[in-house]
Amino acid sequence: MAWTLDQLNAATPAQALEALDGVYEHSPWIAEQALTQRPFRSLAHLKHALAHAVRTASTEAQLGLIRAHPELAGKAMVAKSLTAESTNEQSKAGLTQCTPEEFARIQQLNADYNARFGFPFILAVRGPRGTGLPRNEIIETFARRLNNHPEFELAEALRNIHRIAEIRLDDKFGYVPELGNLTWDAHEELAKYSDPGFSEKGQLTVTYLTEAHRACAERIEFWMKNSCGFDEITIDAVGNVVGRYHPASPGARYLMTGSHYDTVRNAGKYDGRLGIFVPMACVRALHQAGKRLPFGIEVIAFAEEEGQRYKATFLGSGALIGHFNPAWLDQKDADGVTMRAAMQHAGLCIDDIAKLQRDPAQYLGFIEVHIE
């Protein structure tokens, strides 16, 4: 049976400590410190209090926390002496069904990792959706992190411990991060579109106004229209996808936010795109709750930032501040296609580019959620 915050806030110290048992592996001192901040206003408040206890602890205490964790597919798993939480996590990731070759590889990695860093390898093996990472991805991550600097790896171990704790808390309180899952799924869906020569290799590359690029724009526009509740959605004269969520009172200013959906070559799935999907999720939540803010929200998926097809970086955002250079239109890509021809082929109205410039007086500012 799931706990509620009201129950946790009303529980005796011993009961509350028991409720949080196992969130941080064999480290009750973390819950003890966090519980001094009761009453918790939200599950996020509780998570922050627990993480703060770890973050402000000594390096020795942090190392103790890391070393309290079992090795992946290690002796404790074989001996069936893992905690219930660790057993569940390693099972969901399929580590209990390793082939003999996979098991031998992980044992060697465990030995190499401990010799290099002096603590066990920590990975939130249940993954972003809590359903478990593929074993090959776990092994690849394990091998890659062996090359990290010790200080970086200490921080990476703690980051994964916090993620493990977050998933465990969600389980205890019966919480499903629906908006987070939707945001994750949107990244995965958009990453299916990639330019020729890269898609065949399983690599993500989306350059300005290619077929993959236009497919991304159409998909973002579709989600804005059908899932999020924006009041206005357009693809503008340079290919930016723009969604506007009106303020509570007509005439109020807007907060602009967003990021780019083009990529570098062989890119990650989240660079730029996180800054599009997070505010889209916020608008979705506002729309579903029937809420309007004192200001409007303008989410812009910028068509170009990386300068991979044409040497015209920040083309998408530059057009909004009047910095689009008409000379860019005559640039040619590697196949000899001019930007002008590419824009015309995509159905963009070049004559309207100058009209995209925004009036700063109509905006509160610009904010971008970003990850490299």
Tens of pLDDT, residues 198-223: 999 999 999 999 999 999 999 999 99
The pLDDT, as a whole number, for residue 211 is: 98
What mean pLDDT is predicted for residues 19-23? 96
pLDDT tens digits for 85-122? Answer: 777 777 776 777 888 999 999 999 999 999 999 999 99
The pLDDT, as a whole number, for residue 130 is: 87
Residue 14: pLDDT above 80? yes
Percent of the chain past pLDDT 90, that is, above it, reads 89
DSSP string over 125-171: TT-TTSS---HHHHHHHHHHHTTS-HHHHHHHHHHHHHHHHHHHHHH
Residue 197: pLDDT above 90? yes
Residue 221 lies in a domain: yes
Do 89 and 228 fall within a single domain?
no
Give the range of the structural domain holding residue 333, as residue numbers without chain letter.
181-367
Do 135 and 189 fall within a single domain?
no
The pLDDT, as a whole number, for residue 77 is: 61
Do 166 and 206 fall within a single domain?
no
Helix (H, G, I), strand (E, B) or coil at 298: strand
Do 208 and 356 fall within a single domain?
yes
The pLDDT, as a whole number, for residue 326 is: 95
Do 223 and 163 fall within a single domain?
no
CB 69 within 8 A of CB 120: yes
Banded pLDDT at 82 (limits 50, 70, 90): low
Rounded to a whole number, what is the largest CA-CA distance in the chain? 73
**What distances in angstroms separate CA 184 from CA 164, 222, 281, 331, one per listed residue?**
17, 17, 11, 36
- For the chain, give the mean pLDDT: 94
Full-model pTM: 0.85
Helix (H, G, I), strand (E, B) or coil at 194: coil
Do 104 and 230 fall within a single domain?
no
Do 49 and 105 fall within a single domain?
yes
Last residue of a domain, one of 157, 175, 193: 175
Please tell me whether the peptide bond between 100 and the residue prior to it is cis, using omega within 30 degrees of 0: no
Do 151 and 199 fall within a single domain?
no
The pLDDT, as a whole number, for residue 51 is: 98
Count up the domains in the chain and report the number: 2
Do 21 and 151 fall within a single domain?
yes
Residue 372 lies in a domain: no
Last residue of a domain, one of 123, 143, 175: 175
69 is catalytic: yes
Q: What is the side-by-side order of every strand in the sheet holding 296-302?
A: 232-235, 241-245, 296-302, 254-260, 363-367
The whole-angstrom separation of Cα 221 and Cα 225 is 6
More confident residue, 74 or 181: 181
Do 299 and 215 fall within a single domain?
yes
Residue 79: pLDDT above 60? no
Banded pLDDT at 5 (limits 50, 70, 90): very high
Last residue of a domain, one of 119, 142, 175: 175
The pLDDT, as a whole number, for residue 81 is: 59
What mean pLDDT is predicted for residues 113-139? 94
What mean pLDDT is predicted for residues 42-62? 98
Helix (H, G, I), strand (E, B) or coil at 363: strand
Tell me the β-bridge partners of 234. 242
Residue 186: pLDDT above 70? yes
The pLDDT, as a whole number, for residue 75 is: 64
Residue 311 lies in a domain: yes
pLDDT tens digits for 253-278? Answer: 999 999 999 999 999 999 999 999 99
CATH number for the domain including 328? 3.40.630.10
pLDDT tens digits for 301-360? Answer: 999 999 999 999 999 999 999 999 999 999 999 999 999 999 999 999 999 999 999 999
Residue 50 lies in a domain: yes
The pLDDT, as a whole number, for residue 360 is: 97
**What distances in angstroms separate CA 256 from CA 137, 143, 251, one per listed residue?**
37, 41, 15
Do 342 and 193 fall within a single domain?
yes
Do 151 and 54 fall within a single domain?
yes
Residue 159 lies in a domain: yes
> Which residue among 45, 48, 69, 323 is the active-site one?
69
CATH number for the domain including 48? 1.10.3330.10
DSSP 116: H
Q: Which ranges of the chain does DSSP label H, i.e. alpha helix?
A: 5-10, 13-19, 28-34, 43-55, 59-67, 75-78, 84-92, 100-117, 135-145, 150-173, 178-190, 211-223, 274-289, 315-318, 339-345
